[in-house]
Amino acid sequence: MYNLMAKNERIEPDKYTFTFVLKACTGLSSFEMGVKIHEEVAKRNLENDVFIGTGLTDMYSKMGDLVSAWKVFDKMPERDVVVWNALISGVAQCGEAVKAVKLFKKMQIVYLGASSSEVVGVGGRHVDAATTRDDENFNA
């Protein structure tokens, strides 16, 4: 569907289109198509959009490309809780549960009011910040 739309000069994909296509790429495990969409997003200078950045972070992290997920995340001028959770969930799905919990704690610090009752999905479980403990330093 996206390919047909991209070929039609009268229909211009927007941030919502790209976000939904990235979600579809993630659901279909279509890494190659996701990278192509990212290239198209970059050509259109839409990488700084929070919706697209979240979609890219989610796609890359859930497909195991944490390096690209971090690059997208780090470039985002503004990050909301949704993009933090996308990265945290992806990191956890890649078997990095300790890093995921540390990221969650960093998110709380960034938002200074993040409630300890706020939960995030980590490795199929929900982790409550009040119940997590770690003794390592984490540089996210």
Dump pLDDT digits (tens) for 43-98.
999 988 999 999 999 999 999 999 999 999 999 998 999 999 999 999 999 999 99
Q: Both 54 and 23 in a single domain?
A: yes
Q: Both 92 and 62 in a single domain?
A: no
State the pLDDT at residue 72.
96
**First and final C-alpha spacing in the chain:** 37
Measuring CA to CA, which residue among 51, 53, 1 is closest to residue 24? Answer: 1
In the structure, what pLDDT confidence band is assigned to residue 9 with cuts at 50, 70 and 90? low
Q: Both 117 and 138 in a single domain?
A: yes
Measured CA to CA, the distance from residue 112 to residue 109 in angstroms comes to 5
* Residues spanned by the domain of 55: 1-78
State the pLDDT at residue 11.
76
Q: Both 6 and 50 in a single domain?
A: yes
Q: Both 66 and 100 in a single domain?
A: no
Q: Both 60 and 105 in a single domain?
A: no
Sign of CA dihedral 74, 31, 99, 124: positive
- Name the percent of the chain lying above pLDDT 70: 72
Q: Both 93 and 118 in a single domain?
A: yes
Number of domains the chain is built from: 2
pLDDT at residue 134 greater than cutoff 70: no
Measuring CA to CA, which residue among 101, 31, 95 is closest to residue 59? Answer: 31
pTM of the model: 0.74
Q: Both 55 and 118 in a single domain?
A: no
State the pLDDT at residue 117.
47
Section 11-27 average pLDDT: 90
Q: Both 6 and 59 in a single domain?
A: yes
In the structure, what pLDDT confidence band is assigned to residue 137 with cuts at 50, 70 and 90? very low
State the pLDDT at residue 112.
65
Q: Both 130 and 66 in a single domain?
A: no
Tokens of 57: 């972070």
Give the residue ranges of DSSP H helices in the chain: 2-7, 15-27, 31-43, 50-62, 66-75, 81-93, 97-111
